[in-house]
Chains A and B, each alone.
Chain A
């Protein structure tokens, strides 16, 4: 088992205006692994995740310093549009475009001028997102006619179609029913083969089920980071233990 890191964060400090939301964080996202980010509400999980692909740039008061190494470059210094093609993101609420299923998937590669066979791309992306069988007969129907769980898988397919290196997911199941949640979890398990994944979740069982590594955050600080089994069975920090045993959160 190799533990090669695709992203390494060093001394990350993240601010909204004067207020600091993330303090001096060192965190690795490992290749072909699922890294879960857990912690109580407001501890900075989403803030950290959105910094990894520069989605925080849209918050006017946002600023950060430190280093995020990715493919030999510092994400903080790169063109955010290029960064986002390499580091995809799936959001909390499914947000398909109000277009056909087919066009949802092809839009990203199209605007970047990828020269590919779009029919194949659509099929492969939908298969990768475990959605192909359900929608193969209605690729040109509106994506909004899909169920919430299907929409979320479509959003994953849309991300996969860009062939990114890393996929970030911010509570991707929190708007879904239990069955859809299980499907997405299975899907994350499979995606690990080809992608490196960081997932924020409030659901301890989910973190335990899908992730290889877990990072526990508390009030903007990374308290503990390690192999998921270790964190859940034998946490080193009192705070981690309190959190995963449900004493606060």
Chain B
């Protein structure tokens, strides 16, 4: 009884401040990082930087190829992974595969979300680049990235679909609706905001991927914008990686500039995801 209450209160306080310190240290690291990148990166950050091809001369080099490559790659990845992922999630949730097979599929989809991206790179290299002969094309890259983010899209879409109240489904069925009508008129629209949030977060992860793209053969020296899905390509993170690994300091400034561009794109995508969630989260509650 002696040290009961006072000691507990003291411990509570210590715990609270420890947590606070840890939280702030991670925020601090982020701030320092951003500050450092901002300092080194703004030297080259200009319109010219955004519209020039890569070059041996730092003052001439730009990130145009990376920007266009990323836009192409992510659009293509979105076009492949969103329909596939959302339809898979709808199927798994609404059409429920019965018995053991269903369980196995479920567990595997969840596990796939945790597989390191480099493994997907190797898979992409074997299957798309070599077996299907797609070479080091945008299509190979997009298919590989789609595989990578598909589990994330499926898992988050399933959560969104699960959150649709059963009462809505039964209300629709009681009017004589078919499963297809219930799914496409009610379940999908209600789950859409949640699905979109997951999709955008998955895509913004794909934007930052480097390892699997190196493996499927994305290049770093590209001086044209892609014109078809079979063209070779580079992407922002690869370009940054290339610059950062050069010995001359000037290139490190370029890398920092590239990082600013990349971060801007990613943060805007995350911001859109947050807005979508805010705008629509208060709608359905039954």
Chain A interface (Cβ within 8 Å of chain B)? 53, 55, 58, 81-85, 88-89, 91, 93-98, 107-108, 111-112, 144, 155, 158-159, 162
Whether A58 contacts B185 in the complex (CB less than 8 A), given A95-B165, A108-B175, comes out as no
Given contacts A107-B185, A111-B181, A144-B284, contact A95 B171 (CB under 8 A): yes
Contacts A53-B174, A84-B173, A144-B283 supplied; 9 other A-B pairs, CB < 8 Å: A55-B173, A91-B167, A91-B174, A95-B167, A97-B171, A98-B190, A107-B185, A108-B177, A158-B171
What are the residues of chain B within 8 A of A88 when measuring CB–CB?
Answer: 174-175
Q: Give chain B interface residues in 133-163, CB to chain A under 8 Å.
A: none
Interface residues of B in 202-247 (CB under 8 A from A): none
The range of chain B's interface size is 20 to 34
Q: Is B168 an interface residue (CB 8 A)?
A: yes
Contact A84 B181, CB 8 Å, known A95-B167, A95-B286: no
Shortest beta-carbon distance, A211 to chain B, in Å?
21
CA distance in complex: A29, B12 (Å): 66
Pair count A-B, CB < 8 A: 64
CA distance A107 to B168 in the complex (A): 13
Give A78 to B90 CA distance when docked, in angstroms: 27
4 closest Cβ pairs, A-B complex: A85-B176, A108-B175, A95-B167, A89-B174
Q: Residue of B at shortest CB range from A90?
A: B174
Determine if A162 and B286 form an interchain contact, defined as CB atoms under 8 angstroms apart.
no
Judge whether B13 is part of the interface by a CB distance below 8 angstroms: no
Taking a contact as CB atoms under 8 Å apart, the answer to whether B173 and A97 are in contact is: no
* Chain A residue at minimal CB-CB distance from B174: A89
* A55 lies within 8 A of B167 (CB): no
In the complex where A58-B170, A97-B186, A155-B171 touch, is A111 in contact with B286 (Cβ < 8 A)?
A: no
Q: Chain B residue with minimal CB distance to A92?
A: B167
With A93-B167, A98-B190 as given contacts, are A111 and B174 in contact (CB-CB < 8 Å)?
Answer: no
